[in-house]
């Protein structure tokens, strides 16, 4: 009953954001919810008012998946992914690129489904590309990656709490 | 032809979330200053100490193996980010914590979390449904 489903957001390095969450279901079901379009479109819909009308998945190494979200004002946000590694019920590795990120590079996303008895701990690791950090920082006016801030803030909140 | 650079993608990634939750650039820049200020362990320790109440620079420097000017530098960064303020009148010019900037940063993180939370709580329901279906089929 008192299953702690706390969402953890951390940044183990300058290049990563890791999101972790425990689910009260066996590994294969959680894996299915990430790989079967009819299931994905029921939950991966984003903020309130958004939906996922386009959800196509070709689940094989080198195969692509295509998601297009649709917002309350009719706005859309599309993303294309390509599977790099598929180890059913344990690991899914893919590259993802958003439509409106032209020239901004890809993310490498590693989903790890960790069995904890009848439950599953899901780790989502997003790895960003490495090049020209300093140049980009100057260009965008961001003196430090926002990503690192998650860890910093988390640590502060932990210190305080 | 495509420039793959981290900061841009990370920035754009975050800006997308900011866009999704209705934040403008100004807030984003302000948050950036806040997060930069929070990225350093000494500055976090200073903030944690200030939660207990205001303190002079000398008092704040005490637990650290660093000079008072070095600590003053950290305090200036926190001040720029709006995380602390220093009173003008008192001779000691005590430093105190300012809740708003921190709250803004926390709220921002909350919004980021909320998108994930919303997705994952829907996933919870879906998983429950699938589990029930499976146990029915199993019997």
Q: How far is CA B85 from CA A30, A99, A161, B42, B73, in A?
A: 48, 43, 22, 17, 13
Contact criterion met (CB < 8 Å) for B32 and A104: no
Q: How far is CA A22 from CA A3, A113, A133, B121, in A?
A: 8, 10, 33, 11
Q: What span, in angstroms and rounded, lies between the C-alpha atoms of B5 and B68?
A: 38
Q: Which of B68, B63, B103, B100 is nearest to B85 (CA)?
A: B100
A131 touches chain B (CB under 8 A): yes
Contact criterion met (CB < 8 Å) for A21 and B120: yes
Contact criterion met (CB < 8 Å) for A24 and B31: no
Contacts of B34 in chain A (CB under 8 A): 149
What residue ranges define each of the domains in chain B, with the CATH number in brackets? 6-138 (1.10.10.10)
A29 touches chain B (CB under 8 A): yes
Is the residue at A151 inside a domain? no
Residue range(s) defining the domain that contains residue A12: 8-130
CATH of the domain at A13: 3.30.530.20
Q: Is the ipTM of this complex over 0.90?
A: no
Q: What pTM did the predictor assign?
A: 0.58
Instruction: Specify the pLDDT at position B106.
Output: 64
Per-residue pLDDT tens digits for B111-129: 556 677 788 889 999 999 9
Listed range (A2-11, A125-134, B37-46) with the worst mean pLDDT: A125-134
Is the residue at A48 inside a domain? yes
Number of domains composing chain A? 1
pLDDT(A150) > 60: no
B25 touches chain A (CB under 8 A): no
Give the pLDDT band of residue A80 (cuts 50, 70, 90): very high
Residue B55 DSSP symbol: B
SS percent in chain B: helix, strand, coil, step 5:
70, 5, 25
Chain B interface, best mutation among A89, A104, A122, by max B CB count within 10 A: A104
Instruction: Specify the pLDDT at position A54.
Output: 95
């Amino acid at each position: 009953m008192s299953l702690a489903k706390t969402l953890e957001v951390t940044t183990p390095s300058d290049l990563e954001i890791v999101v972790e969450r425990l689910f009260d279901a066996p590994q294969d079901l959680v894996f299915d919810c990430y790989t079967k379009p009819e299931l994905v479109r029921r939950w991966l819909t984003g903020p309130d008012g958004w939906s996922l009308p386009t959800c196509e998945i070709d689940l094989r190494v080198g195969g692509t998946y295509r998601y297009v979200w649709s917002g309350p004002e009719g706005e859309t946000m599309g993303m294309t992914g390509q599977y790099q590694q598929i180890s059913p019920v344990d690991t899914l590795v893919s590259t993802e690129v958003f439509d409106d990120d032209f020239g901004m590079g890809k993310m490498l996303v590693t989903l790890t489904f960790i069995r904890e008895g009848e439950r599953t701990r899901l780790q989502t690791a997003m790895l960003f590309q490495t090049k020209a950090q300093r140049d980009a920082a100057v260009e965008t006016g961001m003196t430090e990656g926002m990503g690192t801030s998650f860890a910093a803030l988390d640590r502060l909140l932990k210190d305080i709490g | 032809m495509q420039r793959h650079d981290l900061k841009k993608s990370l920035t754009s990634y975050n800006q997308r979330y900011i866009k999704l939750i209705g934040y403008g650039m100004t807030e984003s820049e302000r948050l950036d200053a806040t997060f930069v200020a929070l990225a350093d362990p000494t500055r976090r320790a200073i903030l944690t100490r200030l939660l207990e109440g205001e303190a002079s620079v000398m008092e704040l420097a005490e637990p650290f193996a660093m000079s008072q000017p070095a600590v003053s530098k950290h305090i200036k960064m926190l001040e720029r980010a709006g995380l602390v303020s220093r009173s003008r009148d008192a001779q000691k010019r005590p430093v105190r914590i300012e809740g708003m900037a921190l709250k803004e940063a926390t709220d921002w993180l909350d919004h980021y979390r909320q998108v994930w939370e919303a997705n994952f709580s829907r996933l919870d329901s879906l998983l429950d449904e699938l589990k029930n279906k499976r146990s029915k089929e199993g019997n």
